[in-house]
């Protein structure tokens, strides 16, 4: 399968297959971007250009949608995405100390990705588990009632 030079993301053939799945309908843009990101881990500039061309819409529209929704990424991320809730209940119940523990354990600042590509650390809006604040989500798994002391134990599951 063909990959664009310098683009570690999804290959052109797979983008074309995803577009065919949605009959190349522009109204399916969000679903198309979701599928591309699911396969590549992010939506590359090359993929956005191909999608725009195939849907006969401006690249700026594809880019606008890909950057509007926070769950889409236009750059590569780690294998495990650690999302920290930044809403009021988590903040009040100690999220800052949890963030400091995550940054220390992973050796990266908020928004960073480890050099081995294993972890990305980022903020997210409410995870919907305010009753167990502070909370984080690692890929699809949610962890609540966090303390800085629990952070190394949780991360150990993913190392």
- What's the confidence (pLDDT) of residue 71? 79
Residue 159: per-residue pLDDT: 87
- Give pLDDT tens digits for 46-75: 999 999 999 999 999 999 999 998 779 898
Q: In angstroms, rounded to a whole number, what is the distance separating the alpha carbons of residues 98 and 144?
A: 11
Entry pTM: 0.70
Residue 119 host element (H or E):
strand 119-124
At residue 9, the pLDDT reads 67
Tokens of 98: 């949890």
Q: What are phi and psi of 59, to 5 degrees?
A: -60, -35
Query: Which tens digit of pLDDT belongs to each residue from 75-94?
Result: 888 999 999 999 999 999 99
CA nearest neighbour of 81 among 11, 158, 151: 158
For the segment 96-128, what is each residue's pLDDT rounded down to a tens digit?
999 999 999 999 999 999 999 999 999 998 999
- Is the Cβ–Cβ distance between 118 and 82 less than 8 Å? no
Separation of alpha carbons 134 and 11, rounded Å: 39
User: What DSSP string describes 7-71?
Assistant: --S--HHHHHHHHHHTTT-GGGHHHHHHHHHHHHSS--HHHHHHHHHHHTS-HHHHHHHHHHSTT
- Model confidence at 7, in pLDDT bands (50, 70, 90)? low
CA distance 88 to 107: 26
Percent helix, percent strand, percent coil in the chain, to nearest 5:
45, 10, 40
Would you place residue 3 in the very low, low, confident or very high pLDDT band (cuts 50, 70, 90)?
A: very low
The values of phi and psi at residue 143, to 5°, are -125, 125
């Amino acid at each position: 399968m063909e990959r664009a030079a310098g683009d570690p993301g999804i290959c052109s053939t797979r983008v074309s297959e995803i577009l065919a799945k949605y009959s190349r309908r522009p109204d399916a843009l969000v679903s198309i971007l979701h599928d591309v990101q699911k396969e590549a881990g992010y939506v590359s500039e090359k993929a956005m250009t191909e999608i725009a061309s195939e849907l006969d819409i401006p690249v700026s529209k594809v880019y606008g949608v890909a950057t509007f929704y926070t769950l889409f990424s236009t750059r590569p991320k780690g294998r495990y995405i650690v999302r920290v809730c930044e809403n009021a209940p988590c903040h009040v119940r100690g999220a800052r100390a949890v963030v400091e523990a995550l940054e220390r354990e992973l050796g990266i600042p908020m928004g960073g990705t480890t050099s081995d590509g294993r972890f990305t650390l980022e903020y997210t809006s409410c995870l919907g588990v305010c009753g167990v604040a502070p909370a984080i989500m690692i890929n699809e798994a949610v962890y609540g009632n966090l303390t800085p002391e629990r952070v190394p134990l949780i991360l150990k599951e993913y190392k």
